[in-house]
Structure 1
Amino acid sequence: MVTHVRAEAQGDERGALLSFLAEQRGGIRRSVLGLTDEQASSRPSASELSLAGLVKHVAEVEQSWVARAKGEEPAVHREASNWHECFALVDGETLASQLDYWEKVAAETEAFARSVPSLDDSFPLPKAPWFPEESVSVRWVLLHLIRETARHAGHADIIREALDGKTAFELVALAEKS
């Protein structure tokens, strides 16, 4: 898991964007190291967020944005009344299954980002009250995914520390031993 994006590892702009996204994914992945499904699903604060729910959410969000950029439908469609299901394990889902799914999504994201002729290629934003009627580029999608994943990596740091006191630095050391 990437813990620091080295300048020479970035390569071109695509490589840099994908490296920074991988770095943020690593922060969330490390936050669940050594946890059971029960621990990862617990909510140790006033928030409704859990680590397992964050893993599931970022995987679904990444898949949906890349699908839209490809001109495809996202894999998961939720009614507004069921939005909370993207933040919790349901119907036999496990932390391991969500991590595996996210790994596949990440590989698809990388393959797509490397395959488009230009990061300036664009597609329309989905129709939603919170989006303007405009098109965005593949570059925008990658930057959006970095921002989204980084935001939730911060949440994951706080949740993990609330669960057992382990900080991000301790989890980096733990990951290096694994």
Structure 2
Amino acid sequence: MIDAKTLLHDDLRWIREAMLSKIDGLGEYDARRPLTRTGTNLLGLIKHLATSEARYFGEVFGRPFPEPLFHWDDVAARRADNWAAEHETRAEIVDRYRRACDHADATINALDIDAPGHVPWWPRPDVTLFNVLVHLLTETNRHAGHADILREQIDGAVSVDAAGRDAAYWENRRAEIERAARAAGA
């Protein structure tokens, strides 16, 4: 039987790679352009997750990430955490994400599932590695869902689970859903 720590960690490693796959084959503009009213974009999601991995599996457990991070209550810096400025390259952001994940993996491997941590920005700041693993897995999955939708908006690419269906399939599927929505709204 697989223990909870191994199961959660394996799932986290898998979804990290799924996140990175969302920028595969895209040009610089498409990887970073805002696709929602709030500016959500693919490379920005990866940049944000790099900070999250570094912070939650670093300072929360007294194992600080060896690169500078903005202070957790710096609102201006947090606003810049989810988009890529023109001077930041895709390679730099992806490499930082990979380094943050490697640092996180080292923390996860070194600590027991019930190892204590402290998240000063949470209402109940005393946590365990289990709490943080669940939080980061949830956070990364949430952003992977955003990334799925953003990528589909850019070029129609869909997740691995939906791949292999042709354009006619998706056109018919969308029409079926549209008919149901109109019928329910009438």
Same fold (TM over 0.5): yes
Once the two structures are superposed, the pairs formed by residues 112-127 of structure 1 within 5 Å of their partners are 112-116=107-111, 118-126=112-120
Larger Rg belongs to: 2
- Please list the CA deviations of residues 25-78 of structure 1 after superposition, one character each: whole Å capped at 9, or x if unmatched: 122111111112211011233331000100100111111111123325563115
Runs of 5+ consecutive residues of structure 1 not aligned to the other structure: 1-7, 174-178
Closer, same or farther: CA 43–91 of 1 in aligned 2, 3 Å: closer
Partner of 1:5: none
Partner of 1:35: 26
State TM-score, norm by structure 2: 0.77
Relative contact order higher in (CA < 8 Å, ≥ 6 apart): 1
Tell me how far apart the structure 2 counterparts of residues 172 and 52 of structure 1 sit (CA, whole Å).
Answer: 22
Q: How many residues align?
A: 160
Once the two structures are superposed, the pairs formed by residues 59-70 of structure 1 within 5 Å of their partners are 59-70=50-61
Once the two structures are superposed, the pairs formed by residues 19-168 of structure 1 within 5 Å of their partners are 19-72=10-63, 75-77=68-70, 79-90=74-85, 92-116=87-111, 118-126=112-120, 128=121, 131-168=122-159
Runs of 5+ consecutive residues of structure 2 not aligned to the other structure: 165-186
Aligned sequence identity (%): 26
Structure 1 segments, 4+ long, off by >3 Å, are: 72-75, 170-173
Q: Secondary structure at the match of 1:77?
A: coil
RMSD: 2.2
